Chain A
Amino acid sequence: MLTDKTESLAEMVDWESGLISGQIFVDDDIYRHEAERLFLRTWNFLAHESQLQKAGDFVTTFIGADRILLVKQGDGSIKAMLSACRHRGLSVCRVDFGNAGSFVCPFHGWVYDGAGVLRSAPNFESSYHGRFDKSLWGLVAVPRVESYKGLVFGCFDLEAPSLPEYLGDMAWYLDCLLDRREGGTEVIGGVHRIRIRGNWKLAAEQFAGDNYHAIITHVSAGSAWADGPSGRSAGGFAKIMQLPGRQFSSRAGHGMAGFLARDSGLPSFCDPSMSEDQAVVAEYFRATRNEAADRLGVVRADGAPDGAGLVFPNFGILANTLGASTLTLIHPKGPSQFDYSRWCVVDLAAPKAVKEAMVRCLHVWPLGMADADDGENWGGIQATLQGPIARRLKFNYQMGVGQECSDQDFPGTITPFIVGEVPQRNFYRRWLEYMTSESWPVIDQ
């Protein structure tokens, strides 16, 4: 594997020195390797439980490059299956979501029930003459499906640890988004999907650790809405990124890109001066602060740690940021493209008017005014890396080297700044372990 390359993967990913080769973003062999060694081993986000309410509800998604069908079962459980007919492989479900009692392959008409059991095929007796055992030809199940506070994940690797163990300290940070109030969360309003012409890791590492980009990538967005007495926006991201803050890194590859410390003097949820919707959300957070504090403690109830984060390898969150929260899935589509899917996630117990205000906030940020410039820049990197010299460049991931510490308020490895590249180095350290291991890569502490 990879024998035609002059460099080994370990040479391309020198995470200790903070030097990462552009090669890992463009190489076809590395991409094929990822499809096998990474996505078939990691826990992959599949859906939010609120998308699957009653028996027969289904959604379609991907694990890596494989099409996955999720179906709510009669017993309330959720089953994940490869959406590929066992006869010739055609997808048995070609819509995004809905409710169905069975799934029919359009090629020859094999019919599977909601649990993936092969139930019938046309002219079954006269075609197969009794020499066919339907029980052996059900849809291939994703062997492990587990949920964490509403988020459904699937994993093909039987050696992988349980989902809570896989998440580790990251769960504490996810709770800021998922567990503020009784009843948890729901996603509302469908999904927003766009195809970006960049390697999926460019977006993943950004969620894990790159607040730094906002200063310049999003400068036009920040200044465009600074048309009022906006305390947050008028100073721009350059000011925010100098405020007291923290980053979280996980040995398992997860990260929080950077959040304001409680003493930063700036509430992180939203900016009431920006719009009526932001004001509605700000008031909602104020009104529910004590309930959140009872559940999560004051550190998490008062805003830290919000912002961008990543569950390794490709599930991002943007928690309580400028009026809304998003779940993000970064589906690779070859080495040079990915589909960027976003869902709006809200407290189930929030009033309808607050939920609607949150969706509208999301249309401003990030969907409306930030995405365009992210898409431009990720695509621009990919374009540059078509050149053989450019792709052999070692990129600099050295911000924050040697500044890891621990913190009494925040679990995991912490860097005492709101920007840095420790989470990214941990992301690539873990990526390298998956890519170079013959079996589940046990974390050696």
Chain B
Amino acid sequence: MDVRQLEIGATLQFEIEQFYYREAELLDDRRFSEWLDLFSDDTRYWMPTRSNRQLREQDKEASADGEFALFDDNKRTLGWRVKQLNSFTHWAENPRSRTRHLVSNVRIAAGPEGGELAVKSNFICYRNRLQDEVDLWAGERHDLMRRDEQHVWLIARRKVFLDQNVVLSKNLSVFF
């Protein structure tokens, strides 16, 4: 099938939503190495900071390319984070956090290149940690999706807009 003729309809919507549910499952089941495999080798995993701005500058609320970010990883540095998570000495995740990723509001549009998709989704992530620590994060993800040679969807870019100014959790030792 020529991916350029992908019809953005119920079938594709179902396929992409299933992809996100499986992704959430991998994260919540702490299968981080398998999660990393969902990203293309040239991926960028980027979470800008969010500042409080005057209304005339509200479109600059998220930090720009080249500025500070909460995450700005390529496949290699994302792999370092996964390796850190898989070690026994990453104290922020030993013992493990209990997370629950909920993904919704999936909106699919054609991507910049043929066969690519620009997908927006919303998320809520709940974390419970140790005895009584709770964090709640909400935000939006902008993904660029493309298929590999085996026709498997990969995340070629992910930009995460976390809806917080001061990050209110003691760390961001989870992925979104």
Residues of chain A whose beta carbon lies under 8 Å from any beta carbon of chain B: 94-100, 188-198, 216-217, 219-221, 223-225, 227, 275, 339, 342-344, 356, 359-360, 362-364, 367-369, 371-373, 375-379, 383
Contacts and interface: CB of A to CB of B under 8 A. Distances in A.
A96 B52 contact: yes
B166 interface: yes
Contact of B87 (A94, A216, A220): A220
B53 A375 contact: no
A188 B83 CA distance: 30
Contacts of B130: 383
- Which of B53, B66, B92, B133 has the largest count of A CB atoms less than 10 A from its CB? B92
25 contacts: A95-B54, A189-B63, A190-B67, A190-B68, A191-B51, A192-B70, A193-B49, A194-B166, A219-B89, A220-B89, A221-B84, A223-B87, A227-B80, A227-B83, A275-B76, A343-B68, A360-B72, A364-B77, A368-B73, A368-B80, A372-B90, A373-B90, A375-B171, A376-B91, A376-B170
Contacts of A378: 170
Contacts of B166: 193-195, 339
Contacts of A363: 69, 71-73, 77
A369 B171 contact: no
B30 interface: no
A195 B167 contact: yes
Contacts of B68: 189-192, 342-344, 359, 362
B57 interface: yes
Contacts of B92: 372-373, 375-376
A220 B51 contact: no
A376 B87 contact: no
Contacts of B79: 227
A372 B173 contact: yes
Contacts of B152: none
Interface string B145-176: 00000000000000000000111111111000
Contacts of B165: 96, 193
Interface in B38-74: 49, 51-54, 57, 63, 66-73
Contact of A100 (B51, B52, B54, B170): B54
Nearest to A355: B66
B81 A356 contact: no
Nearest to B131: A383
Contacts of A191: 49, 51, 68
A214 to B, nearest CB: 12
A274 to B, nearest CB: 10
Contacts of B90: 220, 372-373
Nearest to B69: A363
B66 A372 contact: no
Contacts of A368: 71, 73, 77, 80-81
B52 A369 contact: no
A372 B172 contact: yes
A375 B90 CA distance: 12
A356 B81 CA distance: 21
The 10 closest A-B pairs by CB, nearest first: A189-B67, A372-B171, A375-B170, A372-B92, A375-B171, A220-B90, A376-B92, A194-B167, A224-B84, A189-B68
Nearest to A337: B170
Nearest to B174: A372
A196 B72 CA distance: 21
A194 B170 contact: yes
Nearest to B87: A220
A247 B84 CA distance: 29
A224 B81 contact: yes
User: Considering residues A219, A223, A373, which has the most beta carbons from chain B within 10 angstroms of its beta carbon?
Assistant: A373
A94 B67 CA distance: 22
B63 A190 contact: yes
Nearest to B53: A95
A94 B167 contact: no
B170 A98 contact: no
A217 B91 CA distance: 7
Nearest to B55: A95
Contacts of A100: 54
Nearest to B63: A190
Nearest to A333: B166
Contacts of A94: 52
A220 B84 contact: yes
B67 A188 contact: yes
B149 to A, nearest CB: 26
A369 B168 contact: no
A189 B57 contact: no
Contact of A193 (B67, B69, B167, B171): B167
Nearest to A228: B76
A98 B91 contact: no
B175 to A, nearest CB: 12
B66 A189 contact: yes
- Please indicate which of the listed interface residues B66, B90, B165 has the most CB atoms of chain A within 10 Å of its own CB: B90
A209 to B, nearest CB: 21
Most buried by A among B52, B70, B80, B93: B80
Interface string B80-113: 1101100101111100000000000000000000
A341 to B, nearest CB: 8
Contacts of B87: 220, 223-224
A223 B51 CA distance: 33
Contact of B66 (A196, A275, A343, A356): A356
